[in-house]
Amino acid sequence: MYQKSLTSMLTFIFTSIIAIYNPVVAAGIEMFGQAGLFTESSEMLQEIPDEPSHVVQAPVEDLVQEAREEKQSMENTTASILYQSMKQSEEVNQEFIQLVKTTDVTRLDLRKPSGLSQEQADALIEGTGLEGLGKAFVETEERYQVNAYYLIAHAAWESAWGRSRISKEKNNLFGFSAYDQSPYQSARKFASKEEGIDAVARYISEHYLSEDGKYYNGAHLEGMNIRYATDENWQNGIGKVIVSLAKKTPPVEELKLS
């Protein structure tokens, strides 16, 4: 009688304590304790889990749906950013083309953004020795703030649209370091045409187009002509190519349809 009362009392005490942390386990202990299955406190403690077992887990399907919705939201945001960026580029491109039409190109600031897309650049040089380099010209403009129209025109003028010996054998599209006395021998060689575009654009940006550059005489063709080339017609030749490229630039929408 005494043993049974003691067991009931212990069961009640431990059930009350456990109920604070885990009502489910407590209910089980009370049920089995009344049946006489728990006679020692150590046995009851062994049945208590380390972590509460009554935490409600979110259904897997809900988590999957949330992930899908979040992914879709991110895609929509990315698409919106890309659209706005493309729209801004188109506006910049049209502004620059208008500037070419109304300004002395030899005095045009070569640091102005072109707004030219890779697709547009590729279309302009398709079928020439510069074909496939649209991405390099556009990305180089972004890195060094040197106008892509100018870079293409300069490369086209110096390399005969990528057909010159120096451009083919030395990947040098700009006649870089090609001195009059020994143009081929002195011309610098690059590992690729892309490397050449990057290196020359960086050099021009630093030394010819920056106000603290050692060859700076204005960030335009006229200023560059003083130290970059001995041919006084150099600026006019490249300027004419810029005008031609601007006139031939296809709208982005047209390229999407083709």
Q: Are 108 and 202 members of one domain?
A: yes
User: Could you tell me the residue range of the domain that residue 251 belongs to?
Assistant: 91-257
Question: Does residue 96 form part of some domain?
Answer: yes
pTM, two decimal places = 0.68
Q: Give the per-residue pLDDT at 13.
A: 58
Number of domains in the chain: 2
How large a percentage of the chain has pLDDT more than 70? Answer: 65
Quickly state the pLDDT bin for 252 (edges 50, 70, 90).
Answer: confident
Please report whether residue 225 resides in a domain. Answer: yes
Q: Is the residue at 131 inside a domain?
A: yes
Separation CA 210–CA 1 (nearest Å): 102
Please state the rounded mean pLDDT for residues 216-226.
Answer: 98
Same domain, 113 and 208: yes
The residue that leads in pLDDT, 60 or 2, is 60
Is residue 66 domain-resident?
A: no
CA distance 256 to 25: 66
Note whether 39 and 96 are same-domain residues. no
Computed over every residue of the chain, the mean pLDDT equals 81
Pairwise CA distance, residues 207 & 209, whole Å: 6
Q: Assess whether pLDDT exceeds 70 at residue 48.
A: no
Q: What is the pLDDT of residues 79-126, one digit of tens each?
A: 556 555 656 789 999 999 999 999 999 999 999 999 999 999 999 999
Query: Given pLDDT bands bounded at 50, 70 and 90, which one contains residue 78?
Result: low
- Same domain, yes or no, for 152 and 35? no
Domain presence at residue 53: no
pLDDT, tens digit (0-9, with 9 covering 90-100), for 9-27? 555 555 555 555 455 444 4
In a domain, 233, yes or no: yes
Give residue 66's pLDDT: 63
